[in-house]
Amino acid sequence: MSLVPVNEPVVNPRAPFYRRLPVVSHFQKSVGLQRGMLVAGLILTAIFLLTACFAPLLAPYGYSQLSDADGNFPTQEAPGGKHLLGTTVGGYDVLSRVIWGAQTALFVIVVAVLMSVVIGVILGLVSGYIGGWLDRILVVIADAVYAFPSLLVAIVMAIVISGGQSSLIGGIFAAGTAITLVFIPQYFRVIRAETVRLKAEPFVESAKVVGASNTRIMTRHIYKNATRSLPLIFTLNASEAILILAGLGFLGFGIEPSSAAEWGYDLNKALADTTSGIWWTGLFPGVAIVLTVMGLTLVGESINDLNDPRLRGRKAAGATGGPDSSTAAQAAISADVRGI
Amino acid sequence: MTINIHSVPDQPRPADQPVLAIDHLKVTFATDGGDVYAVKDVSLDVRPGEVLAIVGESGSGKTVTAKTILVLLPETATSGGAVLINGNNVISVSASKLRQIRGRDVAMVFQEPSTALNPVFTVGWQIAEGILAHAGGPGGKRVTAKEAKVRAIEALRKVGIPDPEHRVNYYPHQFSGGQKQRVVIAAALALNPGLIVADEPTTALDVTVQAEILELLRDLRDKYGTSIVLITHNMGVVADLADRVVVMYQGDVVEEASSRVLFAEPKQDYTRKLLAAVPHLGRNSASEGLEERAHRSSPVLVEATNLTIEYPGRLGTPAFKAVDGVSFTVSEGEVFGLVGESGSGKTTIGRAIAGLNRTTGGSLKVLGYEMLNLKERTFKPLRKDIGFVFQDPAASFNPQLTIGECVAEPMIIHTAPSPAQARKRVGELLESVQLPASYADRYPHELSGGQRQRASLARALILNPRLLIADEPTSALDVSVQAKVLELFKEIQAEFGFAALFISHDLAVVDILSQWVGVLYKGKLVEQGIGSQVMGAPQHDYTKRLIASLPVPDPDEQARRRAAHRALLAT
């Protein structure tokens, strides 16, 4: 008897596969300002992803390149000419460092988020479903990690794993693991809360009644239903991962400039330049961080709003189509509304 | 009456002028799937001192109509037409004018009293809130908090809350469900509005409590001349209270007539079908003409002896006895009906038989297996002989799996069939519950409530169980759908011959299906016997009260029953 269907937006399973993908289905549901925000976020994110993927083609020089056929690069040269965005105090090309930095950031996001998603989801499912002392211990550990400032945990992890400085792979994994450790509690909590809720749902009980094993219930019945909010945390965490990576680099726990380009490291080195009026070494890596984080956050926040029917904007009733054109849709909905 | 000082209407209300007039109301919702026309064209009026019932099944637009009267629709709704309350069109008045009208001219009683009251404030505060909100407005005097409280006490007394001076300071959780609904009605009455809109005011309540609330509403009308718009799907409630009835179907008014005329000679086909689908106690009983218990010689499948089930209390509080020393048996092929109100322990018993709850005392033997100290591993092989149908068909299917996958699940777990075998069996089962086999590929949300409950029955029966437990399988369904599902259940039970434990709060429904009926009250089995005998000549006081409280869909018969009920309570 509800007036408005306030359940999760049901993505029509009959729609073609690509239309049911998280971001695509959200795009189709959005209108007005919400669609604008989503599109802006998607464009920024797409630019970031493309830059990261095609860095070797886009960047004029390598990330650690200090000279070319014409000899050594000049240091602290203003933007223009051969070096579009100028060069740093060490003689690196700023444009190339910014472009290669996108690649490092993407690697770290993928490593960190993948590891934390896998571990967080498994722990959350088991902890929420089995319950008891295992659940209590895991929750306490997750809370303890939560209580630490995330950057501090990341620093400690970076030191533990690589002694603070390292090569590309080592550095990425050090940063990735550090970020993973910070993020696991988030995934763990979200999945655990969903699992605890779903455990009491009649469809889980009906699986119990027919004799399904715990593993089967967790994998077949709870897993898919509990992971619906993951795309949202995924995007929001990706932007946080970039910030932590940049923070690590800025504090000097990043990746050596000879191993990979890293925005935070470049910002750190640009610190001294600011006072002498050299703005380009700090500005461009900073802008790169801001735009990437903003893009990912916009996508995440839009998905969040679109997932909630109460926050989602809709076209006013009566704006499109007459009663005839939507009779079928209406029949489907009234069947849907009835079932709530 | 002290309460009246405040309610000076803007213009004097002539006796014959309607309190509420709805003129060609149209409400449209914007949804993800396009516009939904919830109310298409509704016109009606309510005269002073009249109880108008709006009845209809879910999706008929009755609740939307009710909410429009108080302009409580969400932002996604667009409404057209006119809703006149004492001459003011609430759809077009300004927000401040609307606030004056709400509470003073029209008030609302909601379905679920537990959620309509704010748990962190005392009930007195919540009633006074409305009084204070209207103080100082045009036609109103300044009211101090003290005066407001006095009037809140007065309102509580009116609705029959005992000891109102003291209980005005209670919090909602200190009241029972029925009393909470009284408090909600008191809050609606506080400003003495000419019109009360009651949206399913008794749906969330037990039958015995429902009878009291209906009595209260009738009193309000008789004593204070309050008009009531009663939104309900329950035909018994309509027969009990309404003067005039409006039947709605898919956003349109199908028929409008006085209560007596409508029940005696419905004009429209839809109304006729609707009335025919309402289960009527004493008609169509499964145990008609039985002299002794059927299936007595068949083997016993479930045997409870002094069964006790306790829920552990919180620290320092004793354990809660949900089921207290209950003994009964269910034999092969028998339908055992278990009736009781909320909190009677009927669901707990059903769940214990299926191994979802642990028993704590006595003995419960299911298919020869002792459920006390149940071990899941040893009980699992028996699960294929037990089917379970849940109350809410929407929630008992995994939304991510197709109906076919859901129905086949018990089979996959117990017999590991090939996909072709599973498909074939699912098709057979769906056909025997009168669903097309092609529905196996659909997802649960693509089916209607009744279809889902049929699929749920198919899932319970796929392994040919010897015992089926049905926990309120029809209470989430509309009456016309319920009638079809009950008929199907009856046919299938006759065909498959399984034993069934049928749990319901609805006496009439239980009577249609079960030969043997047990009545639970506060965890105790107070009476059991042949269905028609328990319903026709109840022995225990509680059973008598329960049956007398049940409103029947016939105004004249209900008036007689009401008198009998009053007499019963007076003794």
Residues B185 and B159 sit within 8 Å (Cβ to Cβ): yes
> Looking at residues B258-287, what average pLDDT do you find?
87
**Is A158 inside a domain boundary?**
yes
Identify the pLDDT of residue B12: 47
> Looking at residues B237-245, what average pLDDT do you find?
92
Residues of chain A positioned with their CB less than 8 A from the CB of B63: 1, 3
pLDDT for B25 beyond 50:
yes
Q: How far is B63 from chain A (nearest CA, A)?
A: 8
- CATH number of the domain that residue A239 is part of: 1.10.3720.10
> Looking at residues A238-266, what average pLDDT do you find?
80
Q: How confident is the model at residue A334 (pLDDT cuts 50, 70, 90)?
A: very low
**B45-98, pLDDT tens digit by residue?**
899 989 999 998 888 888 889 889 888 888 888 888 889 888 888 888 888 888
Q: How many CB pairs under 8 A join A and B?
A: 145
Nearest chain B residue to A318 by CA distance is B35
Identify the pLDDT of residue A323: 38
What 3-state class would DSSP assign to B568?
helix
Q: How confident is the model at residue B432 (pLDDT cuts 50, 70, 90)?
A: confident
Nearest chain A residue to B391 by CA distance is A202
> Looking at residues B281-308, what average pLDDT do you find?
82
Identify the pLDDT of residue A314: 67
User: Do residue B59 and residue A337 have CB atoms under 8 angstroms apart?
Assistant: yes
Q: Which residues of B264-301 are buried (b: 16+ CB within 10 A; e: fewer)?
A: eebeeebbeebbebbbbbeeebbbeeeeeebbeeeebb
Residues of chain B positioned with their CB less than 8 A from the CB of A11: none
- The boundaries of the domain holding residue A66 are 31-307
> How high is the mean pLDDT of chain B?
86
Q: What residues contact residue B26 under an 8 Å CB cut-off, 6+ apart? A: B37, B39, B40, B41, B79, B80, B81
CA proximity to B224, closest of B425, B432, B456, B3: B3
> Looking at residues A119-148, what average pLDDT do you find?
90
**Is A7 inside a domain boundary?**
no
How far is residue B85's CA from residue B81's CA, in Å, rounded to a whole number?
Answer: 13
Number of domains comprising chain A: 1
Q: Which of B148-162, B309-323, B328-342 is least confident?
A: B309-323
Q: What is the dihedral of CA A131, A134, A137, A141, to 10 degrees?
A: -90
Task: Using CB atoms, pick whichever of A4, A225, A314 lies closest to residue B399.
Answer: A225
Give the A window 184-223 contacts with B, CB below 8 Å. 201-203, 205-213, 216, 220-221
Identify the pLDDT of residue B9: 44
Identify the pLDDT of residue A14: 56
Q: How confident is the model at residue B248 (pLDDT cuts 50, 70, 90)?
A: very high
pLDDT for B507 beyond 70:
yes
How much is the ipTM here? Answer: 0.74
Q: How far is B563 from chain A (nearest CA, A)?
A: 33
User: Do residue B34 and residue A10 have CB atoms under 8 angstroms apart?
Assistant: no
Sign of CA dihedral A38, A40, A46, A52: negative
**Is A163 inside a domain boundary?**
yes
User: Do residue A224 and residue B410 have CB atoms under 8 angstroms apart?
Assistant: no
Nearest chain B residue to A30 by CA distance is B32
Best of B232, B398, B400, B411 to mutate (most A CBs within 10 Å, chain A)? B398
Identify the pLDDT of residue B197: 92
**Is A13 inside a domain boundary?**
no
**Is A314 inside a domain boundary?**
no
Q: How far is B73 from chain A (nearest CA, A)?
A: 8
Residues of chain B positioned with their CB less than 8 A from the CB of A5: 31
How far is residue B571's CA from residue B566's CA, in Å, rounded to a whole number?
Answer: 9
Residues of chain A positioned with their CB less than 8 A from the CB of B28: 317-318
User: Do residue B396 and residue A202 have CB atoms under 8 angstroms apart?
Assistant: yes
**Is A6 inside a domain boundary?**
no
pLDDT for A137 beyond 90:
yes
**Is A335 inside a domain boundary?**
no
User: Do residue B29 and residue A317 have CB atoms under 8 angstroms apart?
Assistant: yes
